[in-house]
Structure 1
Amino acid sequence: MTFSGFPDEGLVFYEGLEADNSKTYWTEHRQAYDEHVRRPMQELADELAPEFGTPKLFRPYRDVRFSHDKTPYKTHQGAVLHLDGRGVGSVYVQVSADGLRVSGGCWRLQPDQVERYRRAVADDVQGPRLEAEVASLRGRDFSIDGDQLVRTPRGYPADHPRVALLRHRSLHASQTWEPADWLQTRQALERVRDAWRHCAGLNQWLADNVGATTAPPDRRR
C-alpha cells in the first residue's frame, strides 16, 4: 500500500501509552498500534527502500533486563534503512507523541571502526571533507550527536583543529518536527526523504572511511 501519512490516532495512542505503560493498556489498544502506527511506518519504509536500502522496523517491546526502568513498551516506533554493502552509515525515522524524528549516520562503532574513523578525521583530506558535511547539516538545522569522550583520544594533540570530531565514538545527525497537520499527509514522506538525502554525504563519508567491522562476532559489544 502507498504511504498516506501518520494518522493522529497513532499519536493519541502514544499519549495514552506514556500515561499508562502497562500490558493492560497495550492489549486494549493493540489494534490502534497496528493500524495507526506500525502499518504507516511499514508503508513509509517500503516506499523509500529503493533509494535508501533494506528497512527494519524495531520491535515495540523494551529490553528491561539491565535497565532500572521496567516499563515494558517503547513510547515511539522507529525504523532503520541500510544500503547493502555499505558497511556503516544508515538512516532512521521515528514517530511518537512528540512528533517525527529523522537521523542519518552511525550509532555504534566497534573499536576497529573507531580507530579508522579517527585516522580519517585526522587526515588532511578526509578530515576537512567530514567537517564540511557536518557544517552543512548544522546549517540545515540538524543536531550533531553521538557517543563522545570527555578528553582528547590518546595519540592526538589536544589542540587538533578537529578535536571535537576526534572525540566521537559514533556520529549521527538528527532533525525533529513537532506534531502538525502535515504529519497526516504525504508531506511526511517528502520531509523524511529530503532529510535523508541531506545525510547522504555523511553516510558516504562513513562508508568510504570506516566501513564494516573486522571484529569477530563474539567480540562485538
Structure 2
Amino acid sequence: MFNGFTDETVDFMWGIRFNNEKPWFEAHKEIYLSSFYRPMKELGDELYDWFSEQRPELPLRGRVSRIYRDARRLHGRGPFKDHLWISVEAPAESVWTVQPCFWFELGPDEWSYGLGYYAASPSTMMKLRARMERDPKPMETLTRRLNRQQEFSLEGEEYKRPKEGAPSELLAPWYLKKSFSMGHRDKLNESLFTRELVDRLKTGYVFLLLYYDYFVTLECDPDPREPG
C-alpha cells in the first residue's frame, strides 16, 4: 500500500540530478529502491487496480518508468533520469503514439498527472479532427466541461500552420495540436508525503475518464485519407 513519498525521495532526486554518474547511483541504489522506485510501484499498482475496477471491460496495463536513460539517446546527458513516472493504458504495439494514457510523474521540483498522448501520430490527430467534423456535439460538450474546471489544462505541441476546418470556435484549440494532453502541474507539496495523494489522483482521474472513453476508440475510426 502506498503511504506517501519521503524527504529521502526528494533528496535522491536532487542528488542524481547533480551527480548523474554510475558510481554515485550505485552507492545510493538502495535509497533509490526503498524511497523512490518501490513507493512509485506501490502507487502505480494501486491506481492500476482502481482503473481496472472503473473500466473492467478494457485490457489495461500499468507501468513504472526505468530510471536508466536509453544509451542511444543520451545527447550529452547523464545515464540516469532524475524523475520517474507511472502510466496506465491499453496495450499497443506503439503505445506512445496510438493509445492515450493516464500518467503521474514526480521530479525533484515538480509533479504532474493527467491524460493524453506522449506523441500522437498524424493519423490519430486526423481521425480526431474527422470525428469532430462528422459530429461536433460530443466533443463540444467535453470541451465546455474542461473549460469550466481549473485542475487540468489542454497542453501539447502546436502546428506551425494551424489546421483549418474546425466546426466551431469552441473546438478550434484542438485543431492547433500536433499531440495533446490534459494535465495538472504543481510544485512539490505536502500531499505527496501522505495517502492524500491517492485520493487527489483518483478524483482527477474520475473527471478524465469520459475523455479517455472518447479518445481510446479513435483508432477504430476510418482513415480519413481513404475513400469512404
Q: TM-score range by the shorter chain?
A: 0.7 to 0.9
What letter matches 2:11 in structure 1?
Answer: V
- Report the equivalent of 1:206: 215
Match among 193, 198, 215 for residue 189 of structure 1 = 198
User: Residue 82 and residue 19 in structure 1: after superposition, are their counterparts in 2 closer, same or farther (change >3 A)?
Assistant: same
The within-5 A match list for 1:41-52 is: 41-52=40-51
After TM superposition, the score normalised by the length of structure 1 is 0.83
The C-alpha deviation readout for 1:31-77, integer Å capped at 9, x for no partner, is 11100011011111111212324210111111252453321111101
Flag structure 1 segments of 5+ consecutive residues without an equivalent: 216-221
Contact 2:127–2:222 at 8 Å: present in 1 too?
Answer: no
Which residue does 2:181 correspond to in 1?
Answer: 172
Kept in 2: contact 1:146–1:169 (CA 8 A): yes
Match of 2:54 in 1: none
Q: Which residue of 1 aligns with 2:140?
A: 128
What amino acid sits opposite 2:114 in the alignment? S
The partner residue of 1:71 within 78, 83, 87 is 78
Which of 87, 109, 112 is residue 101 of structure 1 equivalent to?
112
Aligned ranges 1:25-64 → 2 under 5 Å: 25-52=24-51, 53-64=60-71
Equivalent-residue separation in structure 2 for 1:165 and 1:108 (angstroms): 15
Contact 1:17 1:26 in 2 (8 A): yes
The two structures have a TM-score, normalised by structure 2, of: 0.80
CA distance in structure 2 between the aligned counterparts of 1:48 and 1:141, rounded to whole angstroms: 19
Structure 1: distance between partners of 2:166 and 2:44: 42
- Give percent identity, aligned residues only: 22
Q: How many angstroms does 1:159 deviate by?
A: 9.2
Q: Following the alignment from structure 1 to structure 2, what is the Cα–Cα distance between the partners of residues 74 and 151?
A: 33
Q: Aligned pair count?
A: 209
Tell me whether 1:111 sits opposite 2:100 in the alignment: no
1:211 Cα offset (Å): 2.9
Does structure 1 retain, via aligned residues, the 8 Å contact 2:166–2:175? no
Taking a change above 3 Å as real, the CA distance of residues 84 and 213 of structure 1, as seen in their structure-2 partners, is farther
Say whether 1:15 aligns with 2:14.
Answer: yes
Aligned partners of 1:134 and 1:202 also within 8 Å: no
For the aligned residue pairs, the C-alpha RMSD in angstroms reads 2.7
Higher relative CO (CA 8 A, sep ≥ 6), structure 1 or 2? 1
In structure 2, give the amino acid aligned to 1:3: F
